[in-house]
Structure 1
Amino acid sequence: MLAAEVAEVLAPTRPPVPVPGRDDALELRHTGPLADVLRLRTAVAAFVHLHFDVPRPRSLTSGDHLARIVDAVYASLRAGGSSSFRFEAAGSDSAVFLRLADLIREATGLQHDDRDGQLVIRVRRGAARRGPERSGAARGAGAPDPGWDVLVRVGPRPLSARTWRAADYPGAVNATIAAAMVRLGGVTASDRVLNLMCGSGTLLVERLLTGPTEAAVGVDNAPEALTAAAANLDAAALTRRVTLVEADALATDADLTGAPFDVVYADPPWGTLHGSHATAADVHGGLLRAAHRVTKEGGTLVVLTHEITVMERCLREADALWTPRETVRVFAKGHHPRIYVLGKRSPA
């Protein structure tokens, strides 16, 4: 999904490739303005990647090596300003890193804040050493040293930390996952969009920032959630494009302005901060029925849920209502929820 967005937003001459030794990162050569990278919505963070053929971090404090790091810091500052920096590295409090911090501070004017620094500089072993640690003997005599990588984050905070999030709400979906849900559901200017159990409005904001809609409605039965959603929509300058409704999203008599809808999103509670596992079956089954009532023929339902077993059972029971189109497993703070993309079945 990220690779597809990179192709659309950055138009690289070569497609991105997986970073050796990692399953959560892509690498590409970007020749355009670095600020364009900040437009990515499914990326958690972006870094300028430098590789140094040196045996130890001490070498980074000298000559051309230091100049390359300083240039990367300035590139990040031009894309999105920062006032301070910090290291993310093993031994970041050592004399070597304190010396490197002093040199970067002298060259850039940025303050070194080892706890809350805005611009992050990661220092780690090169790709050949990623994965299980191997001794020099295990690598074999004469094997090349993998060197060291320095990664300078683009911007003062992760891309996933949206500037529009004026109000936090317990259990709010991660914005990058919400952006992925939007892409999976498809984006068309004529869409009528509904967000059931909308919480603080993350899915609504991400959908509207991706592209226009004919109508957008958010429904939640918690006044505090709708207050948070209103604040976030206002911060994103989207208030006039969304109707918020206080109602039970699963109620058969809920008055949902704008029905039928082309695309419906939902992120049902799963028990840690809202709801409970004991009621998960009722919630998921009710969600599938409620969404079916207000979705147009051939429309799409996109659901993010941690209750995988419950969701699979409810889908089997609702086989006459929805056709599974795609299932995507994601990672979210130690959990592995799934995104279900469903199509409304036509009457037999």
Structure 2
Amino acid sequence: MLYALQTIPGLGQLAWHEAERKLPLGDGGGPRLVGLRAVPGRNDLVLFDHRGAAKPLLALRSSEDVFVVAARAFRVAPDERGLRQIYAAVRYGDAIAPTVDQWRRTLGTRQQGGTFRVIARSVGKQKFLRRDLGRAVSDAVKDGWPGRWRLVDDDADLEVWATLVDQELICTLRLSDVRMRQRGKLRHLPASLRPALAAAMVSLTEPEADDVFVDPMAGAGTLLVERAAAGPFAEIHGGDTSPEAFSALQENVRGVRGKIHVSRWDARRLPFADGEVDKIAVNLPFGKQIGAEARLPELYRASLVEFVRILRPGGRLVALVGEPRALEQARAGAARALRPGARHRVIVLGNAATICEFTRT
């Protein structure tokens, strides 16, 4: 069966790697990637074939939503003919009945109908409006889907997402709910990382059971929570200078199992011995966050010097940064023991950012 993972722009490939690594084998083996699609500035979509149960998909942490694909259409015309193509694909598609059944099984319901709503998105030079796309899909659902379905504006039993990327239509049913995206009752701050992004950063540190893991600028603690969820560890440490952040940090790690320590500290003077730490993941302040871009080179330089000091040889640093050039200049000038690795460009709150990987030589 064909599924789609939805995640933060730029995280599609990392979300796929997590699915490939974690999903149990089905009758036909492991999941098979069908393709990556982008809704610019909004989401990445990962399309893949999976023969196993759907519920394990809801445990993936680098994704924010899970869908089962009900219908696809290709070479969709950009005019009224395209709307007729979309209607036909969504009404008569061979996968409609099986995907509605999968939706019922995943949600644990037997209802043969109910309320539905359509979320329509389009990318390209279509001559029709987004609402026309939504109307074609909703008409197809009402006219041809198994059961009796009634269109509503909000709070529906079933969410149908119709994404038109240039000439390709992807019509999906949402299997996840808000809990997958928000991760329970975490207290967030204005600059807090979204959990899916934090989970992707944690995975890039290559978690191991004996890790001493540190987030030197922990904010509300999202990276700490995601590291605890990623698997066994020896110790997790996090801290921040802000009283508000430290309060949120204490609240968010309360109840997380394992040796988790939080402190008020300055990331440029950390309370660890040389080479004591295995992994560091950090959301480095952007210019707007600290109020003056002129201070970034100084902050990055002093922080990297300290990170090099506490990291063991072979240790990993994963940093999210808004100005990767400034970070590289700081590394080249003061922290050459950090060997640069892969970079991953993402969109964070509408702004371009980069996840940078480093290894301590």
Q: 1:169 to 1:92 in 2, by over 3 A?
A: farther
Aligned-partner Cα distance in 2 for 1:65–1:35: 19
Structure with higher strand content:
2
State whether structure 2 residue 131 is matched by structure 1 residue 91: yes
SS of the residue 1:238 aligns to: coil
Q: 1:158 to 1:336 in 2, by over 3 A?
A: farther
SS of the residue 1:55 aligns to: helix
Partner of 1:122: 161
Contact 1:91 1:97 in 2 (8 A): no
Q: Of residues 169, 175, 182 in structure 2, which corresponds to 1:154?
A: 175
Percent identical: 23
Shift of 1:277: 1.2
Partner AA of 1:294 in structure 2: I
Q: Of residues 74, 91, 98 in structure 1, which corresponds to 2:104?
A: 74
Contact 1:70 1:104 in 2 (8 A): no
Contact 2:273 2:310 in 1 (8 A): no
Q: Of residues 207, 227, 245 in structure 1, which corresponds to 2:263?
A: 245
Contact 1:192 1:258 in 2 (8 A): no
Partner of 1:37: 57
Q: What is the TM-score with the length of structure 2 in the denominator?
A: 0.75
Q: Deviations over 1:256-293 (max 9, x none)?
A: 49971111121121133444312111111111011122
Aligned-partner Cα distance in 2 for 1:323–1:279: 24
- Alignment RMSD: 3.6
Aligned-partner Cα distance in 1 for 2:176–2:213: 32
State whether structure 2 residue 191 is matched by structure 1 residue 171: yes
Shift of 1:123: 2.2
* Mean Cα deviation higher: 316-325 or 206-215: 316-325
Contact 2:62 2:196 in 1 (8 A): yes
Partner of 2:331: 315
Give the 4+ runs in structure 1 shifted more than 6 A.
20-23, 62-66, 92-95, 100-106
Partner AA of 1:88 in structure 2: I
Structure 2 residue runs of 5 or longer lacking an equivalent are: 1-13, 74-83, 121-129
Shift of 1:29: 1.8
Partner of 1:3: 16
Q: Of residues 76, 87, 96 in structure 2, which corresponds to 1:57?
A: 87
Q: What is the TM-score with the length of structure 1 in the denominator?
A: 0.78
SS of the residue 2:159 aligns to: strand
Structure 1 residue runs of 5 or longer lacking an equivalent are: 134-145
Q: Of residues 7, 17, 28 in structure 1, which corresponds to 2:34?
A: 17
Partner AA of 1:153 in structure 2: R
SS of the residue 1:166 aligns to: coil
Shift of 1:298: 2.6
SS of the residue 1:337 aligns to: strand
Contact 2:162 2:171 in 1 (8 A): yes
Partner AA of 2:56 in structure 1: D
Q: 1:213 to 1:14 in 2, by over 3 A?
A: closer
Partner of 2:4: none
Shift of 1:306: 0.5
Aligned-partner Cα distance in 1 for 2:61–2:188: 19
Q: Deviations over 1:186-223 (max 9, x none)?
A: 11101111110100111111111001111111011112
Q: What count of residue pairs does the alignment treat as equivalent?
A: 319
Q: 1:269 to 1:203 in 2, by over 3 A?
A: same
Q: Of residues 252, 269, 281 in structure 1, which corresponds to 2:297?
A: 281
Partner of 1:136: none
Q: Deviations over 1:129-178 (max 9, x none)?
A: x32x7xxxxxxxxxxxx7x542111212374x132342011111222221
Partner AA of 1:18 in structure 2: G
